[in-house]
Amino acid sequence: MIKSKIDKVTSFEKRFEKINTVIFESSEVASKAAAAEIATLIKKKQKAKEMCVLGLATGSTPKRLYAELVRLHREEGLSFKNVIAFNLDEYYPMEPDAIQSYVRFMKELLFNHVDIEPGNFHIPDGTLAKKDIASYCKEYEAKIDALGGIDLQILGIGGNGHIGFNESGSLPNSKTRLVTLDHITRVAASKDFQGLYNTPKTAITLGIKQIMQAKQVVLMAWGEGKSSIIKASVEGPITEQVPASYLQEHPNSVFILDKGSSSKLTRVSTPWIVEKVEWDEKMIKKAVVGLALRLEKAVLMLTEADYIENGMSDLLTEVGDAYDINIRIFNKLQHTITGWPGGKPNADDSNRPERANPAKKRVLIFSPHPDDDIISMGGTFMRLQNQGHEVHVAYQTSGNIAVADDEALRFSDFVIDYNRSFGLDNRKSVEIYKKATEFIKNKKTSEIDIEEVRNIKGLIRRSEARATSYYVGLTDEQIHFNDLPFYETGTIEKNPPGEEDIKITMDLIEKIKPHQIYAAGDLADPHGTHKVCLDIIFESLKRLKTKSYMKDCWLWLYRGAWQEWDIEDIEMAVPMSPSQVLAKRYGIFKHQSQKDGVVFQGSDSREFWQRAEDRNKETATKYDELGLAHYAAMEAFVRYHY
């Protein structure tokens, strides 16, 4: 399947792309294609009575791949008896039973569920004495060489282009070794270690040389967060600063991408440069907006020469002159801007993003974490409430793992003081506090919080969410805590969404019968929770689609603190004045546990309110640069047709 897709890539595309690159509709479809490739190789080796040597990767990227391999084993009889696996890397130091251990990762996701022989999978040992690592690494490579090398190597890619833990600066002849992790890599991993302070600084990794000697290499990448480094690896020069770029010289390598990770490749971002395109409304808007931003011109200032000199002469030939096209796109952009996200009553709504009727709408805002509502669409949230709509907010998960241990103890201590001050029975509170204190005092990075600690942290997030909703003007009847079960594992790794998650969501939608639903479409969320929450909403809406009230229900997708919709994709832009920006900031401040060095900061050192303001300001600035009205900030939405 992958090979057939590669064959369809045109020679013109290959002029830009120096590595075979296959783009799939989604990471799910792509993962199944990669699993099919592996399964075909395993079966081919079985027929030849040969061992199949696989190089395997860890991290979030290959999870669906391993799930599909397990399914193929269970449902289609794919045997792993002839498979020998070598993993790319392991943190150092690292105990094999730690939550963050790649030994545990591989066993729980793959090895424990297939019939691979126990002695046939190898993962670098994170418990070695440092003096023994060099000899161990030589032996690790010798085992691979003795088997004739790796038949197929699976790779992910880091934000700085690392493959395995071969960071920027790794040379093409680098061998398996102990490496110092880049700060960017550690920050990205810090979510698994409850903060950067606990994140290992070193790791053992297979070297570039051994990876390049693999007979076939499959690199997978998902999401827009990887789009820049994918473009650099595929279309840029070969450089030690982007180790993945070395794969340009591999005779049999392929990048398997989803739409998000491929979005900055030339054939995706400016396809008219690569091949003849169909100039539909979406493509025209994408091309004109992109051209204006690239040339730093207002849309109405673009000339025919601008179109011709930037590979868009076909657009002029097929659609018309530059002046008419400019007016057409300017009007489309203008019509996305509205100060009435719930629709403007008694107004002509033919050129507005939302309907005028009903004048008072029932609105349901889904917030994956307890602060996504105010961070991502706080200005719109307040506008909807102030304009008289019946606004409900549903906090989909407890968000308890994002609370620091000392915050949990501080609030528990407050409860004890509160009870003591008012003469209330304090015995149970003291008992819980002592148990929590003892656990946190002796807590290892590999341990999951005990139930009492998780509950305290969940209560903190709940109280903050409620405070934000009160600030906006909601009553208790309009605030809903779903506490979806898939989230409650106590770790970053969540359970797959289940029927109970869907039932809880469906029941709430049935109860409210909304005219508008707002949901987080931020699939670049590094935690992954946003995507699971969105999938649950999609499935719920799919099952409720035949209900009469659903005909009048529109779904609007917002994005979180991590990134914004591209201008050409935005269908509703809600402007904010300086005072509204400030009001939103104060709403975000209600989430005190998420200020001043939060547990999951990500690679961005700014606080969430700063990220939100900068992102909203950037959207407004782009509209201004395109020649539209100038606002302090804007929140953006895309309508999803389910």
Rounded (10°) angle between helices 102-109 and 63-76: 40
Residue 401 pLDDT grade (very low, low, confident, very high; cuts 50, 70, 90):
confident
Mean residue pLDDT across the chain: 93
Say which amino acid occupies 177: R
Is residue 347 domain-resident? no
Length of the chain: 642
Same domain assignment for residues 53 and 81: yes
Q: What is the DSSP letter of 555?
A: E
Say which amino acid occupies 24: F
Question: Are 165 and 203 spatial neighbours (Cβ–Cβ below 8 Å)?
Answer: yes
Same domain assignment for residues 76 and 222: yes
625 catalytically annotated = no
**What CATH number does the domain containing 87 carry?**
3.40.50.1360
140's enclosing H/E stretch is helix 133-146
In whole angstroms, what is the distance from residue 201 CA to residue 575 CA? 44
Same domain assignment for residues 164 and 150: yes
**What CATH number does the domain containing 376 carry?**
3.40.50.10320
Same domain assignment for residues 187 and 123: yes
Write out the two tokens for 228: 């820049």
Same domain assignment for residues 75 and 92: yes
Is residue 537 domain-resident? yes
What Å distances lie between residue 420 and 114, 366, 417, CA to CA?
A: 56, 38, 5
For 348-373, the pLDDT digits (tens) are 999 999 999 999 999 999 999 999 99
Q: Is 408 exposed, middle or buried (0-12, 13-18, 19+ CB in 10 A)?
A: buried
Q: What is the pLDDT of residue 187?
A: 82
For 317-341, the pLDDT digits (tens) are 999 999 999 999 999 999 999 999 9
Same domain assignment for residues 257 and 279: no
Average pLDDT over every residue of 457-478? 97
Question: Are 412 and 433 spatial neighbours (Cβ–Cβ below 8 Å)?
Answer: yes
In whole angstroms, what is the distance from residue 545 CA to residue 557 CA? 18
Nearest alpha-carbon partner for 80 in 121, 32, 33? 121
Write out the two tokens for 216: 């076939």
Average pLDDT over every residue of 362-390? 97
Catalytic residue of the set 17, 141, 167, 607: 167
In whole angstroms, what is the distance from residue 120 CA to residue 110 CA? 13
574's enclosing H/E stretch is strand 572-576
For 174-229, the pLDDT digits (tens) are 999 999 999 889 888 887 787 787 899 999 999 999 999 999 999 999 988 899 99
Write out the two tokens for 171: 């040379």
- Full residue range of the structural domain in which residue 46 is found: 21-267
Question: Are 23 and 257 spatial neighbours (Cβ–Cβ below 8 Å)?
Answer: yes
Strands (E), 104-193: 121-122, 152-155, 177-180
Question: Are 166 and 49 spatial neighbours (Cβ–Cβ below 8 Å)?
Answer: no
Classify 599 as helix, strand or coil. Answer: coil
In degrees and rounded to multiples of 5, residue 369 shows phi and psi of -105, 165
Is residue 68 domain-resident? yes
304's enclosing H/E stretch is helix 304-309
Write out the two tokens for 330: 């300017």
Residue 599 pLDDT grade (very low, low, confident, very high; cuts 50, 70, 90):
low
Residue 18 has pLDDT above 90, yes or no: yes
Average pLDDT over every residue of 27-38? 96
In whole angstroms, what is the distance from residue 251 CA to residue 214 CA? 10
Residue 604 pLDDT grade (very low, low, confident, very high; cuts 50, 70, 90):
low
Same domain assignment for residues 544 and 634: yes
Is residue 279 domain-resident? yes
Give the rounded percent of residues in the chain with a pLDDT score beyond 90: 83
Residue 443 pLDDT grade (very low, low, confident, very high; cuts 50, 70, 90):
confident
Listing DSSP states for 373-430 in one string gives: HHHHHHHHHHHHHHTT-EEEEEE-S--GGGS-HHHHHHHHHHHHHHHHHTT---HHHH
Least confident among 301-315, 380-394, 446-460: 446-460
Three-class SS string for 79-129?
A: CCCCEEEEECEEEECCCCCCCCCHHHHHHHHCHHHCCCCHHHEECCCCCCC
For 232-282, the pLDDT digits (tens) are 999 999 999 999 999 999 999 999 999 999 999 999 999 999 999 999 999
Average pLDDT over every residue of 133-148? 97
Listing DSSP states for 307-355 in one string gives: HHHTT-HHHHHHH--HHHHHHHHHHHHHHHB-S-TT--TTS--TTSSS-
Three-class SS string for 11-79?
A: HHHHHHCCCEEEECCCHHHHHHHHHHHHHHHHHHHHHCCCCEEEEECCCCCCHHHHHHHHHHHHHHCCC
In sequence order, which residues have a C-beta less than 8 Å from that of residue 439 and are 6 or more positions away? 449, 450, 452, 453
Is residue 80 domain-resident? yes
Is residue 578 domain-resident? yes
Same domain assignment for residues 139 and 122: yes
Residue 560 has pLDDT above 50, yes or no: yes
Half-sphere exposure at residue 526, Cβ-oriented, CA atoms within 13 angstroms: 19
| Radius of gyration for the alpha carbons in the chain, expressed in angstroms and rounded | 26
Q: What angle do CA 396, 397, 402 make, to 5 degrees?
A: 140
Q: What is the pLDDT of residue 7?
A: 52
Residue 39 has pLDDT above 50, yes or no: yes
Is residue 124 domain-resident? yes
Q: What is the pLDDT of residue 493?
A: 64
Decide which of 461 and 223 is more confident.
461
Residue 526 pLDDT grade (very low, low, confident, very high; cuts 50, 70, 90):
very low
Query: CB atoms < 10 A from the CB of 119, how many?
Result: 7
Same domain assignment for residues 251 and 299: no
Rounded (10°) angle between helices 27-47 and 63-76: 50
Question: Are 633 and 379 spatial neighbours (Cβ–Cβ below 8 Å)?
Answer: yes
Average pLDDT over every residue of 114-140? 97
Same domain assignment for residues 181 and 256: yes
Same domain assignment for residues 140 and 276: no
Classify 521 as helix, strand or coil. Answer: coil
Is residue 345 domain-resident? no
Average pLDDT over every residue of 490-513? 89
> pTM for the whole thing?
0.86
Q: What is the pLDDT of residue 491?
A: 64
Same domain assignment for residues 303 and 366: no
For 95-111, the pLDDT digits (tens) are 998 888 999 999 999 99
Listing DSSP states for 243-279 in one string gives: GGGGGGG-TTEEEEE-TTTTTTSHHHHSHHHHS----
Number of domains in the chain: 3
Residue 432 has pLDDT above 50, yes or no: yes
Nearest alpha-carbon partner for 176 in 161, 165, 162? 165
